[in-house]
Chains A and B, each alone.
Chain A
Amino acid sequence: MVKIYIDDREYDVPAGMNLVDAAKWHADNDIPVFCYHPKMEPVGMCRMCLVQQGAIEKDRATGEVVLDEHGQPKVRWMPKLQTACTQRVTDGMVIRTNTAEVDQARQNVIEFLLTSHPLDCPICDKGGECPLQNLTMEHGPGMSRMQFQDKQHLDKHVPLGDLIYLDEERCIQCARCVRFQDELVGDDVLAFHERGRRLQIITNSNPGFDTYFSGNTTDICPVGALTTADFRFGARPWELTEVPSIDPFDAAGSNISLSIRLDRDFGGKAMIKRVMPRQNESVNEIWISDKARFGHHFTRSENRAQSPMIRNANGQLMQTTWEEALKSVASILKAAGKDVAAIAGSQMSNEDLWALREVMSAVGSTRLGAWPITHAGADLVAQVGVGVGSNLGDLGKGDAVLIIASDLEEEVPIWRLRLKLAKERGVFLAVANARHTRMEDFATACLRYDYGMAAHFLSNLRAENPDLAQQLAQANNLIILTGAEGLSLDGSRALMQAAANFLIETGHVGKPNNGLLSTFPGPNGMGQYYMGFTPENTQDIMINPPKVLIVAQADLYHDDPSASQWVHEVETVINLTLFADETLSHEAHTILPIQSFAERDGTFTNGERRVQRFYTAQGPIADALPAWQVLSRLGEKLGRGKAKLSAATVMADIAKNVPAFAGVTYKEISNVKRQFPDVGGRDLYYGGTAYQNRGGLGVQLKTTAESGEAINTAPVELVNAPRSQAGQMLIVPTTVLYNRERTFLPSALMHPRVMMPYAEINSADAAKLGIKSGDVVEIVADTMRVRVKAHVNGGAPEGSIVLPRHLTTEAVPMTMTLGRVSKVD
């Protein structure tokens, strides 16, 4: 701690802190900035943060503070004003921010920036939350001396990519967007072009602005130069209501804020106008991926299920009331005895899953399946997951992270962003996979194994890669982040066990920033586990289909090519769904429309076991109800006591019955505390328009390792990769971020970014099969038959085909399998 003086008051601040940050955090003094951003290195380009700076004079010989004639310490002032953003605080620093000279300097900078600013604030999306507008009101000259004819007229509608538009006139050349892409994301796709007044931002990628994080640049843009295609002219910022929510797409559980406003076209109901990040420094800081930002359109898809439907005697689905539908389902369940099973998707909230479990225990069944069945080992995450208080942003020198069997950028982009930054802070970042993934561009060490051998690789790490094993074992903090690429479900379990064993043996469990993470698909993979839903049960359900199957928010036919076979054997399917047009609807006896995350409240448990809450934002769709409510009312009909009236009371039930959730209440999940940097206040210029967290930081559940129980290693049941016979190849399903899943496809603006269905083929295999890049190939495996374009490159290892899931309309296997590939003429 050092002593500094701001406007003649003394403050204790940590040495070396950036002056703008220190003034804001410790002295509550907002130094205006345009180019400086607390998450990025200062550049001192905009000159807005000029302050008077000096130092308390000390006698060189004695080191004594020199006093002036009044007995006050003498200050040696710098001859000119200094940019605060490029200063780090030192002992005895004296700053004045309120002198006439500083005021004049700020006024001059504003006037200069406005020389060629178009002042079309009335139609600007940023108008109302614009740093330039606010700082002009606060520090500007108030009168214009400009010749309006001299203003430059430039292009006002330059699409940088499909998602972001640039207004060249409005840009003040602060370089925040360029630096964000370069310094933070590592996708160096923006650049400055030309010089002086002609300086413009251009994109140098094809397709333009090719990154998964482009939307964040519109938040940190201090003017309306960058706007999103999604929100363009959607509403004025002051008309929006911010509702805290959670990203419904991946295991990171990014905190988001849904900006809602009533809308004529949406029947006068509240509608999501845009999705903004919400600060949670332990989860997503102030960034979100473009999928979270632009993927909300599925909540208003025209295919949303409208009302409960029951199949009548003629086999036709007929609209009915909730009461009738639930009565009918209750009688079906009673008649089925115990031969009932349930499969729940990972977009179900904790409350939904609990209510479903209650229904299942009412009929006496324990067959609770999780969907999709790609990632096993959630129980190990519950045992040795990262400790309470973990924060990828805290990792630094001496720490290590191993990413194995995951294409992290495509699976959980926010973790990829934060681990890239961690590596730059000195973390030893090892990436192991059977093929090249984007994460390798940022890794300290890249390792290869053959597909299917991830668990073998990790089990034999000490013998075969002693250097790496040593690096990891000796790290102060170690996180192993696993995926399930190129693994069967059993293979995934083996990998998780091998990772858990390594962590336990090297003592990296039960502490913050140590332990196991996994890229579970969907936002609530861990919630599924805690509520008793496992992929192993699903496998069992697929092998021995029950008489009655409850499917909740799981798109079986789109995910699993064998679904048509085993679902046929089920007598009655009860489908709780968002969408009326699922293939499963053709078979379902009852369709119960449920609400998406945007229309009701609930909680998700993210990959770090953080229980986070989302709130009701959007108006309801027709008769759809929250799944927990539907299931709770169903439970009442089956004799499980009165139906619950709110999600909070369901959570109270969970807290009572699930040991890991003991003590978790909505109140506690909603607690917030001040986070550094202090963004989202009235001073939008400091951190951009990211929102302050008012909805809660969530509660991280304790691992078993932390609750003091002894954690033991267990033998790894290694599964050998399927051996290919002549002519067969390994079909490796992978995840791509932008795909044709039913929850993403309705976002029409993302369509240009979704790849046409393709498969990567090794050039050696391609030569053997006579396939060239761009050829259409047919891939046949088990029950799957798809036609895709071939990408011949070095991406796929020899003997394997990398086939992204959810790009084709037909289902692709969930886990690795064997198949044949042939060229289609």
Chain B
Amino acid sequence: MNVIKGFATTFKHVLEESVTLQYPEQVRPFQQRYKGRHHLRRYDNGLEKCIGCSLCAASCPADAIWVEAAENSDEERYSPGERYAKTYEINMLRCIFCGYCEDACPTQAIELGHEHQLSFTDRRDVIFTKEMLIDPVPAGGQDTPQQVAPGAFNRSIPDMENPK
């Protein structure tokens, strides 16, 4: 009897729809909140949002981020305001994808995206540089460094809103 009971269960499941996905041909849809590899964002005009303040590095519990800042000029402008990130690196081996950097960022320059295929064969490949992290220049925007009119971009932090 027990044998028949057992086979009944088996046959029942055979007829059910499979939950296994044929990854990588098939990919499960991501939740919006999924925390994958980081992106450095740009404004619509192509300027980088990152101002090199290093707060992401300070908040990082895994000490995965390395930032070195430098000063903008109107002839060679990377970001609005005075300061930009000359060097921006994330060591993906150290990163625990907690998203604290995202929270700390005063300009919403760093965001964790959905990319999760981060395998590698050389440890040196795991250090993502600024060039690898930054978004492509949006349509209508200009690549950095830009030459801009003097005094056009003198605010590093986007204007704050009045208390409601």
Contact = CB atoms under 8 A, between A and B. Distances in A.
Contact of A233 (B71, B154, B161): B71
Contact of A123 (B53, B57, B68): B53
A148 B162 contact: yes
A309 to B, nearest CB: 33
Interface band, chain A: 20 to 34
Interface string A122-136: 110001000000000
A236 B53 contact: yes
Interface in B66-90: 66, 68-71, 81-83, 87
A264 B51 CA distance: 18
Given A123-B52, A123-B82, A239-B54, A156 B154 contact: yes
Contacts of B69: 123, 233-235
Contacts of B55: 122
A240 to B, nearest CB: 11
B122 interface: no
Contacts of B156: 120, 122-123
Interface in A232-248: 232-236, 238-239
Contacts of B57: 239
Given A156-B154, A233-B71, A264-B68, A123 B162 contact: no
Contact of A144 (B81, B106, B157, B163): B163
Contacts of A195: none
A277 B80 CA distance: 33
A72 interface: no
A542 B159 CA distance: 69
B162 A147 contact: yes
A149 interface: yes
A122 B157 contact: yes
B126 interface: no
A167 to B, nearest CB: 9
Interface in A538-574: none
Contacts of A70: none
A119 B68 CA distance: 21
Contacts of B154: 153, 156
Interface string A217-245: 00000000000000011111011000000
A120 B70 contact: no
A122 B81 CA distance: 11
A263 interface: yes
Interface in B60-114: 66, 68-71, 81-83, 87, 106-107
Nearest to A232: B71
A145 B163 contact: yes
B92 to A, nearest CB: 18
Interface in A124-178: 127, 143-149, 153, 156-157
A239 B162 CA distance: 33
Place the interface of chain B in its size category.
Answer: 20 to 34
Contacts of B82: 123, 156-157, 233
A153 B106 CA distance: 19
A234 B86 CA distance: 11
Interface in B105-164: 106-107, 154-157, 159-163
Nearest to B161: A148
Most central of B52, B57, B107, B162 by chain A CB within 10 Å: B162
User: Does more than half of chain A's interface fall in helix, strand or loop, or is it mixed?
Assistant: loop
A119 B54 CA distance: 16
A123 B51 contact: yes
B107 to A, nearest CB: 8
Contacts of A123: 51-53, 69, 81-83, 156-157
A232 B71 CA distance: 8
Nearest to B104: A122
Point out which of B71, B159, B161 has the most chain A C-beta atoms below 10 A from its C-beta. B71
Interface string A312-342: 0000000000000000000000000000000
A233 B157 contact: no
A348 B40 CA distance: 48
B153 to A, nearest CB: 11
Contacts of A145: 163
Contact of A148 (B54, B70, B83, B160): B160
B52 A233 contact: yes
B16 to A, nearest CB: 54
Contacts of B70: 233
Given A122-B106, A263-B68, A236 B162 contact: no
A264 B52 CA distance: 15
Given A148-B161, A148-B162, A238 B58 contact: yes
A265 B154 CA distance: 27
Given A122-B55, A236-B58, A148 B157 contact: no
A234 B87 CA distance: 12
Contacts of A127: 53
A224 to B, nearest CB: 11
A148 B53 contact: no
A120 B81 contact: yes
B102 to A, nearest CB: 15
A119 B160 contact: yes
A232 B87 CA distance: 16
B61 to A, nearest CB: 15
A537 B162 CA distance: 75
Contacts of B51: 122-123
Nearest to B68: A264
Contacts of A149: 162
Interface in A486-508: none
B54 to A, nearest CB: 5
A144 B159 CA distance: 15
A178 to B, nearest CB: 24
Nearest to A155: B154
A127 B83 CA distance: 14
B162 A119 contact: no
10 contacts: A119-B157, A120-B156, A122-B51, A122-B53, A122-B106, A122-B156, A123-B82, A146-B163, A153-B154, A264-B68
Interface of A: 119-120, 122-123, 127, 143-149, 153, 156-157, 232-236, 238-239, 263-265
Which 9 A/B pairs are nearest by Cβ-Cβ distance? Answer: A122-B53, A123-B83, A233-B69, A122-B106, A123-B156, A236-B54, A148-B160, A264-B87, A233-B83
Given A145-B163, A235-B54, A236-B58, 18 more contacts: A119-B160, A120-B81, A120-B155, A120-B156, A122-B53, A123-B156, A146-B162, A148-B161, A148-B162, A149-B162, A153-B154, A156-B154, A232-B71, A233-B69, A233-B71, A233-B82, A238-B58, A263-B68
